[in-house]
């Protein structure tokens, strides 16, 4: 049948090609004539095809065709060559392109493409985070409400888009052992007051308290580290905190991070933060961390093949009840209420700080910690300022928005320049 001709021919050539070549060379060297027409007739193909194969032609196994991802090549190059953004894992780059550049290919296809381009492949090989520990990892599973693991994702450098300031962000991570449900809480410092405040918020998010918390020997928790030979010593304030909330603390032995493998495995998700360095202001950074938190809770966990949010619905009723609000308030950083004035400012320690224009006339609340002012409307973070001695403290974004409403018809560049000029004058007058 005609449909079998190409297959028959290529299979025949594949099997006998070496022999044909040698026969052809022998006959040519001895002035003997090879009957190419007869070979073509026997194989039912064109004579020129026979000639082509006898002269060394080998059909390529793979057709080279352009990739759908070639259109993203320049974007990827720009991102990987950035001096501020960083992508620790291929998955971080994949999610960034999905969220910001409408990438719509399956993850395996994208990862294969990165490996096929030498410069992209080399980028991730150089930055690969490896675990050189030779210690075997023993898998432990716990029942509903039995255990949570606690740790910090520490010292992530980040360039703020609005000011260009380089900050260091830390993220407190609490993960329930049974459901793998996580709570992420960002902070600019890792003091004990911040830890207790954020842990209180974590328990309130969960709606209860796990029976045991597994932690490393962080100084805000332990006065003396637990080792193979010593139990360790919990500091007085954290000991009071755990008693008030009703949980037991189980510190890991020093240098055994694999013991709390569930929380350690979460740290790679937070590497996505580095991808947005120089692209977000502080509030937007906090919102990003919330989105990452929500996404991992709604995605299949690699550890158990289940979705944390669904499993948490089974686990939450097994948690210990929260202590009374009056107890929780002892560990909460003090919250102060304030009304936003007509200029879009609140007063803190006799100085004024801006909030977004839409909150003029509304009651907001603020907290003072990390040498910063955190302003909330209900539970939403709406502004962050560094404590200052200046009388007036404007966020550029807030002031630009106000100027834009005053000078309708001006271009965004004109408004920005006017805002910066006015802020320079205000800063000089009220320093």
Q: Provide the 10 A C-beta neighbour count for residue 93.
A: 24
pLDDT at 28 over 80: no
Q: How many residues does the chain have?
A: 431
pLDDT band at 367 (very low <50, low <70, confident <90, very high): very high
- Domains in the chain (CATH in brackets) are 2-54 (no CATH), 73-126 (no CATH), 147-326 (3.30.420.10), 334-430 (no CATH)
Q: Which residues of 307-330 are buried (b: 16+ CB within 10 A; e: fewer)?
A: bbeebbeebbebbeebbeeeebee
> Distance (Å, rounded) from C-alpha 282 to C-alpha 275?
14
Computed over every residue of the chain, the mean pLDDT equals 82
pLDDT in tens, 88-138: 899 999 999 999 999 999 999 999 999 999 999 999 888 665 544 444 444
- The pLDDT assigned to 136 comes to 44
- The pLDDT assigned to 129 comes to 56
pLDDT in tens, 55-97: 666 665 555 567 788 889 999 999 999 999 999 899 999 999 9
pLDDT at 205 over 90: yes
CA–chain centroid gap for 303, Å, is 18
pLDDT at 2 over 70: no
- The pLDDT assigned to 430 comes to 46
DSSP track, 179-211: T--EEEEEES---HHHHHHHHHHHHHHHTSB-S
Q: What is the mean pLDDT of residues 319-348?
A: 93
- By CB atoms closer than 10 A (0-12, 13-18, 19+), residue 2 is exposed
DSSP track, 69-91: GGGGHHHHHHHHT-SS---SSHH
């Amino acid at each position: 049948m005609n449909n079998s001709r190409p297959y028959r021919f290529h299979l025949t050539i594949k099997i006998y090609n070496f022999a044909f070549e040698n026969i052809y060379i022998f006959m040519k060297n001895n002035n003997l004539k090879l009957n190419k027409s007869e070979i073509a007739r026997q194989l039912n193909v064109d004579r020129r095809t026979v000639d082509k194969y006898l002269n060394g032609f080998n059909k390529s196994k793979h057709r080279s065709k352009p990739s759908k991802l070639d259109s993203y090549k320049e974007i990827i190059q720009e991102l990987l060559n950035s001096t501020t953004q960083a992508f620790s894992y291929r998955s971080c780059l994949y999610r960034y392109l999905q969220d910001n550049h409408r990438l719509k290919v399956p993850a395996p296809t994208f990862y294969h493409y990165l490996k096929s381009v030498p410069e992209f492949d080399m980028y991730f090989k150089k930055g690969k985070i490896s675990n050189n520990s030779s210690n075997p990892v023993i898998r432990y599973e716990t029942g509903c409400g039995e255990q949570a693991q606690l740790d910090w994702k520490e010292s992530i450098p980040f360039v703020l888009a609005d000011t260009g300031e380089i900050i260091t962000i830390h993220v407190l991570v609490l993960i329930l052992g049974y459901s793998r449900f996580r709570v992420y809480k960002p902070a600019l410092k890792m003091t004990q007051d911040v830890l207790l405040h954020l842990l209180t918020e974590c328990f309130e998010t969960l709606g209860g308290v796990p029976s045991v918390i597994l932690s490393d020997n962080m100084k805000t928790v332990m006065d003396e580290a637990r080792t193979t030979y010593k139990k360790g010593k919990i500091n007085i304030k954290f000991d009071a905190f755990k008693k008030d909330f009703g949980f037991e603390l189980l510190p890991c032995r020093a240098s055994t991070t694999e013991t709390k493998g569930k929380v350690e495995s979460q740290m790679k998700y937070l590497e996505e933060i580095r991808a947005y360095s120089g692209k977000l202001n502080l509030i937007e950074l906090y919102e990003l961390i919330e989105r990452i938190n929500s996404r991992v809770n709604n995605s299949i966990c690699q550890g158990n093949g289940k979705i944390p949010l669904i499993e948490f619905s089974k686990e939450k009723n097994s948690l210990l009840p929260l202590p009374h609000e009056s107890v929780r308030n002892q560990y909460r950083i003090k919250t102060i209420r304030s009304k936003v004035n007509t200029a879009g400012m609140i007063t803190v320690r006799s100085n004024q700080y801006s909030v977004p224009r839409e909150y003029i006339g509304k009651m907001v609340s603020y907290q003072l910690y990390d040498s910063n002012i955190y302003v909330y409307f209900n539970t939403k973070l709406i502004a962050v300022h560094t404590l200052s001695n200046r009388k007036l403290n404007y966020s550029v974004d807030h002031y630009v928005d106000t100027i834009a409403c005053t000078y309708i018809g001006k271009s965004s560049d004109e408004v920005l320049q006017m805002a910066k000029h006015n802020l320079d004058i205000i800063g000089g007058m009220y320093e």
